[in-house]
Amino acid sequence: MKFSAVYLAAITLACTAVASPVKCDVKGLDQLAKKSGRYVGTATDKWILDGDAPYAEIAASKEFGQVTHENTVKWETIEPQPGVFNFGPADNLVEWALKNKKKIRGHTLVWHSQLAPWVTANNYTAEQLKPILKNHVQTVAKHFQGRIMHWDVVNEVFNEDGTYRKSIFYNLFGEDFIEWAFRWAHEADPKAKLYINDYNFEGVSPKTTAVTNLVRKLKAKGVPVHGIGAQAHLVVGGLSSSMQELWRTWSDDLEVEVAITELDIRMNLPETPEKLKQQAADYTAVTQACMNLKRCVGITLWQYTDKYSWVPDVFAGQGSPCPWSETLEKKPAYYAMQAALSAKK
């Protein structure tokens, strides 16, 4: 079902109006998503939850049915020294999630960024690094066995032109490390769904053609690749017209799950009513694109509030990317998602 611009404008205005008679908060986002077998989640970490009670209350509510570790499963944190694993911070969020009946996405097992410095500083040969990589993947996956719904097994392995990123892993192993990582993760946690995850996976491009071809090749070899994660760090007004086409290819042709794994939609500051309206329309489009697919399993916000968003620290002059404001007020984007998740199909 497609929403008209008039409908979207009407619900946004009604839900944000002072003393509005429209009951827009009856169901949380995840409650609505569950009706179609999907989820809505958020990235966070336990130290944020512990330090901000109002934030934690919303995170624990029925707005969200899933959480992703924002940083505490990345290599620099979880294996800061060779063979020395620091599971405490990640375990804290897992315990919180299970207590609050949230599913968990594991992010991430193999990534070129936020590596522990020793991984590159020790100048390992391929023969030396392969068992280190295997041990990392299997130790982390095994530690959380049975508690992780999805793993981002490999993250950001492509350049925009569709070539492989020249990471330490590619430089030493070529593309073989990708297959190894999926097989190792499956051995360690056979019930978890395993994903390849990246940004700019929201429209047809050389990069997305490359991942489509890779996943097709891996599946033909019997490699346990179960899904493709589209990070969806987007810009207001900049959505690709081929987003639905691409995701349908993955869902219907490749027959793998599709997940929107890190959704936020930033704007050039300051906010204006026009920018917020366009942002709401963009959140609608992403949500609808997921709802329209047989194998789109859910949407994770990369932090649900502007208060803790990574965007201003990385993109100068940009921000306000989340459905909740810095003061934890729901923005038009929230109500747009709510409407899209409520649509009868």
pLDDT tens string 158-184: 999 999 999 999 999 999 999 999 999
Torsion, Cα 272 278 282 285, to 10 degrees, reads 150
Mean per-residue pLDDT of the chain: 94
Q: Name the pLDDT band for 23 (thresholds 50, 70, 90).
A: very low
Confidence class for position 2, pLDDT limits 50, 70, 90: very low
User: What does the pLDDT average to over 192-215?
Assistant: 98
Among candidate residues 35, 97, 104, the one with its CA nearest the CA of residue 68:
104
Question: If you average pLDDT over residues 221-250, what whole number do you get?
Answer: 98
Give percent above pLDDT 90 in the chain: 91
For residues 119 and 81, give the distance between their C-alpha atoms in angstroms, rounded to a whole number: 9
β-bridge mates for residue 336, sequence order:
none
* b/e map 144-183, b = 16+ CB within 10 Å: beebbbbbbbbbbbbeeeeebeebebbebbeeebbbbbbb
Q: What is the mean pLDDT of residues 269-276?
A: 98
Active-site position among 63, 70, 79, 156: 156
| Res. 265: pLDDT tops 80 | yes
Check pLDDT > 80 for residue 3: no
The arithmetic mean of pLDDT across residues 86-103, rounded, is 98
Instruction: Sketch out the chain's domains with CATH numbers.
Output: 26-342 (3.20.20.80)
Q: What is the mean pLDDT of residues 266-270?
A: 98
| Residue 15: band (very low, low, confident or very high) from pLDDT cuts 50, 70, 90 | low
Catalytic residue check, 202 = no
The CA distance from 168 to 159, in Å, is: 14
Mean predicted confidence (pLDDT) in 226-231 = 98
Residue 27 has what pLDDT? 87
- Bridge partners, residue 158, by sequence: 164
3-state secondary structure the chain: CCCCHHHHHHHHHHHHCCCCCCCCCCCCHHHHHHCCCCEEEEEECHHHHHHCHHHHHHHHCCCCCEEEECCCCCHHHHCCECCECCCHHHHHHHHHHHHCCCEEEEEEEEECCCCCHHHHHCCCCHHHHHHHHHHHHHHHHHHCCCCCCEEEEEECCECCCCCECCCHHHHHHCCHHHHHHHHHHHHHCCCCEEEEEECCCCCCCHHHHHHHHHHHHHHHCCCCCCEEEECCEEECCCCCCCHHHHHHHHHHHCCCEEEEEEEEEEEECCCCHHHHHHHHHHHHHHHHHHHCCCCEEEEEECCCEHHHCCHHHHCCCEECCCCECCCCCECHHHHHHHHHHHCCC
16 has pLDDT over 60:
no
Q: What is the pTM of this model?
A: 0.93
Digit-coded pLDDT (tens) for 109-156: 999 999 999 999 999 999 999 999 999 999 999 999 999 999 999 999
Q: How far apart are CA 277 and CA 267, in angstroms?
A: 11
Lowest mean pLDDT among 5-14, 256-265, 279-288, 335-344: 5-14
174 φψ region: left (φ > 0), alpha (ψ -120 to 50), beta (else):
left
- Share of residues in the chain with pLDDT > 70 (%): 92
Distance of CA 101 to the CA centre of its chain: 19
- 262 is an active site residue: yes
Give which of 129, 128, 82, 104 is closest to 261, Cα–Cα: 104
